[in-house]
Amino acid sequence: MTARDRRRSVGILTHTAIADDPRVRRQVEAFSKAGWRVLAFGATGGRAAPPAGELLEAHLPSHDRSFRSRLRRLVRLGRLQVQPWAPEAVFWNLPENYGAILELAEPYRPDLWLANDWTMLPLATRLTERDRTPFIYDTHEFASDEFPENWKWRTFMRPLVSKIEAAGIARAAEITCVSDGIADRLAAVYGLARRPVVVRNVPRYEEVPFRPCGERIKVLYHGLVMPNRGLEALIGSVTLWRDAFELTIRGPGSDAYLAELRRLAEAGNVAQRVHFDPPVPFTDLVQAASTHDIGIFVLSPHSHQNRYVLPNKLFEYTMAGLCVCVSDLPEMAAVVAHYGQGRLIPGLSATDIATVVNGLDRSAVEEHKRRALAAARELSWEHEERRMMEIADALTA
């Protein structure tokens, strides 16, 4: 047996493209750095350069939004309404075809499995039952309350998510999540004897120099460009901003939705002050953000998932040395209150947003930017990965 073979090994499971999923990529890098053999199983389609490790990727079906496809999906999910004892049968019959990832993973026998999100729990359960190995469940969201505003999701998906997650959590050796609020909710909903361990979704530390505001104060939203991200109100607020401010929206979105946002900017006579930039690889996000002054994110508190969200972008803005302006939701508010790197937006309206933005002059923005750069040294993955590796070490000791 070679020294390579004697290394501890981990199998990381995700339904996403490994290279483009910030949290999964950081997991791969952390285990590799610690000397583990890393086997990562996920989906094809990544745009960023792949991390170190053995990456095995399956081609999952693209999202088909045709009426026939959506109807077929609802019929399959509807089976759980009449057969509530069969969540796994429903899961394996989903058009997403997560079984393709299971097929990639089955030939391997790592010392530990790590399942990212509820979609990988049935895979982890099968793989660990076979080999009697432990697995960690790492949830990036509060999965059972992710889209409660959508009646179809509430009716058809929530029962499946809740049953799959409950069964998987009962088998998991350890549970990790991204915020204290989600940890508390998981413990309450599933009656856990031990609270999940919080491993926040923060970027690796990058050295970013302080950049004073220029002639224009540049406000940035980066992330998924989709409904329920407060972007309509954000664009509407630009009509109320002082002339010194301009907005950039950067990220992937459908052509139809981007066109709708552009129409809103034109209707408000602010098209010259609202810029739409294409997404950049997540490995370049911090440096790309650092050319701006304010990072903004407005989110409705309509669900437990939203109330307890602690999103990547809050920490990416901080790492980039930006003044952050985010919704006054418990988890984000606690971070901003502790580090003082920005302001909280009390509501969801264009007026609420504009009041906070207009309340910032150049000196205030620059003070928050300096505090963000100071906070970035602590709000970095180097601190968070220690918790994850301590769990992995304990489970494989």
Among residues 302, 364, 293, 304, which one has the least CA distance to residue 331? 304
331: helix, strand or coil: helix
Spacing of C-alpha 23 from chain mean position: 7
C-alpha–C-alpha distance, residues 26 and 382, integer Å: 10
Give percent of the chain above pLDDT 90: 79
Provide mean pLDDT across the span 316-336. Answer: 97
Flag whether pLDDT at 1 surpasses 80. no
Provide mean pLDDT across the span 89-109. Answer: 93
Fold matches, 3-202+381-395 and 217-376: yes
Give the model confidence (pLDDT) of 199-221 as tens digits: 999 999 999 999 999 999 999 99
Give the model confidence (pLDDT) of 252-279 as tens digits: 999 999 999 999 999 999 999 999 999 9
Q: DSSP letters of 296-321?
A: EE-----SHHHHT---HHHHHHHHTT
Flag whether pLDDT at 21 surpasses 80. yes
**Domain boundaries, given as residue ranges, for the chain:** 3-202+381-395, 217-376
What pLDDT was estimated at residue 385? Answer: 95
What average pLDDT does the chain have? 93
What pLDDT was estimated at residue 5? Answer: 52
3: helix, strand or coil: helix
85: helix, strand or coil: coil
What is the CATH T-level fold of the domain 217-376, as seen in this structure?
Answer: Rossmann fold (3.40.50)
C-alpha–C-alpha distance, residues 198 and 376, integer Å: 18
Flag whether pLDDT at 370 surpasses 50. yes
**How sure is the predictor about 3, in pLDDT bands with cuts at 50, 70 and 90?**
very low
User: Which CATH superfamily does the domain covering 3-202+381-395 fall into?
Assistant: Glycogen Phosphorylase B; (3.40.50.2000)
